[in-house]
Structure 1
Amino acid sequence: MSQDAGIFIVLAFAVLAANLPFLFDRIFFIVRPASGHKGFFWRLLELFVLYMGIGVLTRILERQAHGSAYPQGWEFYVTTLSLFVVFAFPGFVYRYLWHGVRHRVGAVRT
C-alpha cells in the first residue's frame, strides 16, 4: 500500500469516527441513557474522545512508517481538532437539523 492510500484510509476513518456520536443514542456506544436520548454534552465528549483515539492511531502509524513521530505544536492540534469538527458536520445535520425536523413534523400531524 502506498503512503497516499494510507493517508486517505486514515482520513476516511476520521470522517467515520467524527460522525459516530451523532448516529447512535448510546453513551460511548454501550450505555443507554436513562432519559432515552443522549444529550449534546455527551456527543461532544464522545467526539473529543474519538478525536484523541484517531490521533493516537495516526501517531502509531507515523512512528511505524517513519521510525519516529514528528514533534507538533499546539497549532497542529487546534487545526486537526477543527478539521475533525468539520468532518462531524454531516452527522450533526442529520441528528439536529434533518432528523429532528422529521420528528417534529410527524408530531404535528398526529
Structure 2
Amino acid sequence: MTQTASVWLVLVVAVVAANLPFINERLFVLGPRPGPQKTFGWRLLELVVYAGLTWGLGSVLEASIGQRSPQGWEFYAAGACLFITLASPGFVWRHLRRRHPEPSPHD
C-alpha cells in the first residue's frame, strides 16, 4: 500500500469511527442495546476506544511503510483534538439538532 493510500485510509476510518458512537445505538456497533438509548458516558467510552483503534491502525500502517517516528505528548493531544473535531457532525446530529414536538391529537 502506498503512503498516500495509507493516509487516506486512516482519515476515512477516523471519520467513520468518530461518528459511530453517535449514529449507532448498540454498544460498540455489534453489542446489546443498553436500554432505550445509550447514555453519554457509553458514547464517550466508545469514542475513546475507537480513537485508540484508529491510532493503532495508523501506527501499523506507518510501521509497514518504514520506520515509525517517535511521538511526544503534543502528537497525542493534537490527535485527540482532531478526533473530537471529526466527531462533531455525529454529536450535533444526536444531541443538538432540533426535534419537532409531536402534534397533540387536539390540534
Q: Same fold (TM over 0.5)?
A: yes
The count of aligned residue pairs is: 103
Q: CA RMSD in A?
A: 1.3
Percent sequence identity over matched residues? 45
Aligned to 1:84: 83
List aligned pairs for 1:19-98, cutoff 5 A: 19-29=19-29, 30-34=31-35, 36-66=36-66, 68-98=67-97
Aligned to 1:94, the other structure's residue is in SS state helix
Aligned to 1:78, the other structure's residue is in SS state helix
Structure 1 runs (4+) greater than 4 angstroms displaced: none
TM-score by length of 1: 0.86
Q: Which runs of 5+ in 1 are unaligned?
A: none
Q: Using the TM superposition, give the Cα deviation of residue 25 of structure 1 relative to its aligned residue in structure 2, in angstroms.
A: 1.0
Q: Label 1:2 to 1:63 Cα distance change in 2 as closer, same or farther (>3 A).
A: closer
Task: Name the amino acid aligned to 1:33.
Answer: P
TM-score by length of 2: 0.89
